[in-house]
Structures are given as C-alpha cells and as structure tokens.
Amino acid sequence: MTLKWSIPEIMEHQSNGLSIDTTVSVEDLREMDAEIRAISPVHVKGHADINRHTVTFFLTISGKLTLPDAVTLEDVTYPFHIQTSEIFRLLPGSMGGESSSDSEVHDVEAETIDLMPYIKEAILVDKPIRVTSGDNRKQPAPRGEGWSFMTESEQKEQMDPRFEKLKDLFNE
C-alpha cells in the first residue's frame, strides 16, 4: 500500500473512510539527520475521515531508531510510537465549517495527497535530543588530568577552595 492518493481516489472512500495499515521504508531520514545511524521499517496504522472540503488522517507511527549514546557514542536503539493527525484542505480557501488554524491545515498540491513527508517530519520532531543506555551507569565515571565527573551530592560536599579561609573565620 502506498501512502499517496489522488483526490478522485480519496473521494471513492468518502462514504466509508479509508483504513491504513502498512509498513514503509524511511531510510532517507539518515540523510536528513546525521545522528540517525539506522531506522527500521516504520509501521503506519490509522484511518482517514473524508468530507467534501477536507481529509483528516489519524495515524499511529511506530518503529525503532538507532542513535548515538550521549556519553559513549555507542549505538542505542530508541523505539518510538507516535500518534498524529494531519488535515488536508481539498479546496483552497474553504474549511467546511471546521475550526483549525491555517498552520495545522495542509493544502493539496498537484491534486495528490502524499503522507510520506508528514510521517518523516513526525519522526524527526519526536526524535530525542540525547539518549543514553542504562549500561553507562555501571561503568566508572570518566576522568582526566585535572577533571572528573561528580554527582550532585559529591559537589555539595566539596567546598570551593576560595572559601576555605572563610570557614576558619566563623570558628573563632
């Protein structure tokens, strides 16, 4: 099943709606975002409500991204499950009584509706900025010459050397 329809194809499903249940490849997301090391085929499931003026798609998008660990840069598998809706205006300038802002409504271009760009956008928007695996907590914290990672409690216990002499003033 493709995720691209012409307006006449869409209108054939006006009375009973359109069901979607397919798996698509979005490998070109790796070119769009350098942090994405791999992406599994994406499962898209949902339905479309169709009326004279608009088509509203209610979609569930799920799959797995492989992203770099924020600490070690090793591969981390990040499963995603996104629920989104996309509204397409069939006739420019008419909404048929629906109340949606223009930023949420897409105009149909070239008499076809293609969901792939919107699916890719939803995945990119949902992608976390950083991921870490649970394995990092078991490893000792990295250290270097003159620096080391410390927890908040260790940081509170350690006194700033610039204030060390002030501590003696209050003891007198």
Residue 76's beta-bridge partner residues? Answer: 67
Q: Identify whether 158 is part of a domain.
A: no
More confident residue, 165 or 42: 42
Residue 170 has pLDDT above 80, yes or no: no
More confident residue, 148 or 67: 67
> Tell me, what amino acid is at 124?
L
Q: Identify whether 30 is part of a domain.
A: yes
Residue 172 has pLDDT above 80, yes or no: no
What token pair was written down for 22? Answer: 């397919």
Close Cβ partners of 100 (under 8 Å, ≥ 6 residues apart): 87
What is the Cα–Cα distance from 172 to 167, expressed in whole angstroms?
Answer: 10
**DSSP H or E stretch at residue 23:** strand 18-24
Mean pLDDT to the nearest integer, 111-128: 90
Distances (CA, A) of 74 to 35, 38, 138: 12, 13, 15
What is the Cα–Cα distance from 126 to 124, expressed in whole angstroms?
Answer: 5
Q: Note the pLDDT of residue 47.
A: 92
Model pTM? 0.71
Q: Residue 75 belongs to what domain range? A: 4-140
Q: Identify whether 72 is part of a domain.
A: yes
Q: Note the pLDDT of residue 124.
A: 92
Q: Name the domain count of the chain.
A: 1
Residue 103 has pLDDT above 70, yes or no: no
Q: What is the mean pLDDT of the chain?
A: 81
How do strand 38-39 and strand 4-6 relate by DSSP bridges?
Answer: unpaired
Q: Note the pLDDT of residue 102.
A: 47
Q: Note the pLDDT of residue 139.
A: 59
Q: Identify whether 153 is part of a domain.
A: no
Q: Identify whether 98 is part of a domain.
A: yes
Q: Note the pLDDT of residue 135.
A: 62
Q: Note the pLDDT of residue 12.
A: 84
